[in-house]
A = this chain, B = another copy of it.
Amino acid sequence: MDKKATIYDIAREAGVSTATVTRVTSGSAKVKSSTRERVQRIIDAHGYVPSAAAHALESGQTHTIGLVMPSITNPYFARIYSTIYEEATANGYYVWLFQIHDNDPIPPNLIDEIIRRRMDGVIFAGGIWSMERTGLADALTRLKHHMPVVTICPPTMQLDCICIHSDLVGCSRLPVRHLHALGHRRIAFIGGSMQLRDSSKRGENFLQELRALDLPDDPAYHVNCGYNAESGEGAVLRMLSGLERRRWPTAIIAFNDLMALGAMKQLKNMGLRLPQDMAIIGCDNQFFCSYTDPALTTVDLHPEELGSSAVRELLTARDRAHVPFNLMREATLIVRESCGAKLGYRKLSD
């Protein structure tokens, strides 16, 4: 951590101009090979590396894209981050991750920071619940003034930017149809922070699907809560203990796999056998789905593809006119054992 050499030091020591040093470091222009070697030797001796700040100042580019999302402690977001990182790196960009907390407003100085750093673009990713976040719309508006913005979220708000999202309809339809085909009639839905019948696309779609199949649309079957394993436990407990046994649902669709995990634990604690007494479906196809007992049937939203598309759209956004648009990736049902489909199990329509 001695005082670091600058391009001037290198130039002076090598007896050349700074321009020539740049020519060597950037590798591009023609330099007599003897000069190049001499300069390179000095560079190596000092461990000289050009400063990104000075370069950014001069070029106006930082080769950095910002990524704003909830904690990667949630493995769904970890997957999105990872894929964005890979795609960006492959294109010569670096990703800078900023975390926001669920239910908290977007910190205004976070937005400032992204602008201050003059990033070349930003991706906002967040589940449906965060889209109603205080300050989101303002944040995007400010950001859009400075750089291209891509969001990974349901197109429920008019965000006026490129929006890449998963298949919210399929995400509700697939599990409902699957359960219906297996003979289930009383199907419950737990999780999310949405108000069903209100703003949430996901909830709306679930209800719509139920109605399309002529299934009971009992408010007692909808538990509105968080989206982690603990909420899953609580949701099941609250729902079932508030219901006579004969009115219990025979299947539960969870907002995500985390909730399903909690729900399964609670159901087992209550002495229910899975999938015989209760079928369950999660969402996200997380790594642990194959390892639950029974293995969890779930919906894959293909977050990896959302992430890499987001990067590609962002990186090409500069060359296009600003035309906001939406892109959707279809959902896929991953059938495992938590509904009994593979056991040939079929619920009596009781």
What are the residues of chain B within 8 A of A290 when measuring CB–CB? 229, 265
Please give me the residue from chain B that is nearest to A264 by CB atom. B291
Report A102-141 residues with CB < 8 Å from chain B CB.
Answer: 112-113, 115-118
Any chain B CB within 8 A of the CB of A159?
no
Encode A1-22 as 1/0 by CB contact (under 8 A) with B.
1101000000000000000000
Any chain B CB within 8 A of the CB of A333?
no
Assuming the contacts A78-B78, A265-B290, A288-B288, asked whether A47 and B146 have C-beta atoms less than 8 A apart, the reply is yes
The answer to whether A117 and B52 touch across the interface, beta carbons within 8 angstroms, is yes
Report A136-170 residues with CB < 8 Å from chain B CB.
Answer: 142, 144-148
A147 to B1, CA, bound (A): 6
Please give me the residue from chain B that is nearest to A142 by CB atom. B47
Assuming the contacts A49-B112, A57-B53, asked whether A1 and B72 have C-beta atoms less than 8 A apart, the reply is no
Q: Which of A93-101, A193-201, A209-217 contacts B (4 or more CB under 8 A)?
A: A93-101
Please give me the residue from chain B that is nearest to A50 by CB atom. B116
The answer to whether A291 and B1 touch across the interface, beta carbons within 8 angstroms, is no
Assuming the contacts A47-B145, A261-B291, A265-B290, asked whether A82 and B99 have C-beta atoms less than 8 A apart, the reply is yes
What are the residues of chain B within 8 A of A47 when measuring CB–CB? 115, 142, 145-146
The answer to whether B75 and A79 touch across the interface, beta carbons within 8 angstroms, is no
Please give me the residue from chain B that is nearest to A57 by CB atom. B53
What are the residues of chain B within 8 A of A85 when measuring CB–CB? 99
What copy number does this chain have within its complex? 2
A94 to B119, CA, bound (A): 14
Encode A39-56 as 1/0 by CB contact (under 8 A) with B.
000000001011111111
What are the residues of chain B within 8 A of A264 when measuring CB–CB? 291
The answer to whether B81 and A72 touch across the interface, beta carbons within 8 angstroms, is yes
Report A216-240 residues with CB < 8 Å from chain B CB.
Answer: 229
A290 CB to nearest chain B CB (Å) = 7
Any chain B CB within 8 A of the CB of A277?
no
Any chain B CB within 8 A of the CB of A34?
no
Any chain B CB within 8 A of the CB of A175?
no
The answer to whether A82 and B78 touch across the interface, beta carbons within 8 angstroms, is no
What are the residues of chain B within 8 A of A144 when measuring CB–CB? 1
Any chain B CB within 8 A of the CB of A73?
yes
What are the residues of chain B within 8 A of A115 when measuring CB–CB? 47, 49
Any chain B CB within 8 A of the CB of A282?
no
Any chain B CB within 8 A of the CB of A268?
yes
Please give me the residue from chain B that is nearest to A111 by CB atom. B49
A113 to B50, CA, bound (A): 10
What are the residues of chain B within 8 A of A55 when measuring CB–CB? 116
The answer to whether A146 and B81 touch across the interface, beta carbons within 8 angstroms, is no
Give me 16 A-to-B residue pairs in the complex whose CB atoms sit less than 8 angstroms apart, sorted by A's number.
A2-B145, A4-B146, A47-B115, A49-B112, A51-B57, A53-B57, A71-B82, A78-B78, A82-B99, A95-B97, A96-B96, A96-B97, A97-B97, A229-B291, A262-B291, A265-B291
Starting from the known contacts A1-B145, A75-B75, A97-B97, 7 additional A-B residue pairs (CB-CB under 8 Å) come to A71-B82, A72-B72, A72-B81, A73-B82, A229-B288, A261-B288, A265-B291
